[in-house]
Amino acid sequence: MTAPTLISQDISKSFTSGQITQQVIKHSSLQIYPGELTLVVGPSGSGKSTMLAMLSGLLRPDSGHVRALDTNLWALDDRTIDQFRLEHCGFIFQGFNLFGALSALENVMLPLQYLHLPAHTIRERAEDALAEVGLQQRMHLRPFQLSGGEKQRVAIARALVKNPRLMFADEPTSALDGANGQVVIDLLKRIARDHNATVLGVTHDPRLFSHADRVITLEDGIVVSDEHRSEFKAPIGDIIEHAHE
């Protein structure tokens, strides 16, 4: 039986500007599983990025808990949360966030340099990650020499190189055309399977929905549907059992 690796329990988040308080996420509880690509979808402003940020240790919920890899995430102090993200989480964003002065290979090597591994190990692992996204022939090029789709694949390799158990992607395809968007989504799905990683993405692009293993639809901060397509599903009782401290 596969247990969820990422669990939110009754999390809420509001933002206040001036006199107006907007409740962006409303008492949300979810269980996300390893080995599959889960997409949170919904219109712009529905709370997708806020949800992802709370599940990935980037934004503290107003109330509720997040259990990530059996750690009660928001009970940790900020430094320990940073450390948790460094060790266990890979991030992919809409804008690629690559260093323009560095080659694809150097961009991918960067996260490993913080882990004090031997130089040859860093290089081998970076080359492997780039091969996994199909860029072994292009690894010495710099971002300006790569297409948008290739740049996002470099960003995926950079997230993957630490072999993180959790991967988060916020609108990873919105700067790409349809074909490149599908390549990126299919890669994320394959990574989930091959590495037994928990891959959670958010997107407002309906063309990608059919490529995910599971699609959670968010409207005004509330989950309105949750469609699971993989073969394995944990029974609800088991999940709730697991969600309690």
15 or 232: CB nearest ligand ADP: 15
Give strand ranges (E) for the chain.
6-17, 20-32, 36-41, 63-68, 71-72, 89-93, 166-170, 198-203, 214-219, 222-228
Which residue of 6, 7, 11, 24 would you call a contact of ligand ADP, by CB under 6 A? 24
Residue at 152: amino acid letter: Q
Q: Cβ of residue 30: shortest distance to ligand ADP, in angstroms?
A: 15
Name which of Mg ion, ligand ADP, none residue 45 binds, using a CB cut-off of 5 to 8 Å depending on partner kind. ligand ADP
Q: Cβ of residue 53: shortest distance to ligand ADP, in angstroms?
A: 8
Q: Cβ of residue 173: shortest distance to Mg ion, in angstroms?
A: 13
Return the closest-CA partner of residue 81 out of 44, 53, 109: 53
The Cα–Cα gap between 86 and 96 comes to 18
The Cα–Cα gap between 175 and 19 comes to 34
Name which of Mg ion, ligand ADP, none residue 38 binds, using a CB cut-off of 5 to 8 Å depending on partner kind. none
Residues numbered 34 to 73 that lie near ligand ADP (CB under 6 A) are 42, 44-50
Q: Cβ of residue 101: shortest distance to ligand ADP, in angstroms?
A: 30
48 or 214: CB nearest Mg ion: 48
Name which of ligand ADP, Mg ion, none residue 47 binds, using a CB cut-off of 5 to 8 Å depending on partner kind. ligand ADP
- Check: CB of residue 23 under 8 Å from CB of residue 200: no
Name which of ligand ADP, Mg ion, none residue 50 binds, using a CB cut-off of 5 to 8 Å depending on partner kind. ligand ADP
Q: What phi and psi, each to the nearest 5 degrees, are found at residue 102?
A: -105, 150
Cβ-based neighbours of 59, under 8 Å, separated by 6 or more? 13, 50, 53
Which residue of 49, 103, 152, 203 would you call a contact of Mg ion, by CB under 5 A? 49
Return the closest-CA partner of residue 24 out of 57, 56, 58, 63: 63
Q: Cβ of residue 56: shortest distance to ligand ADP, in angstroms?
A: 13
Q: Tell me which residues touch ligand ADP (CB under 6 A).
A: 15, 17, 22, 24, 42, 44-50
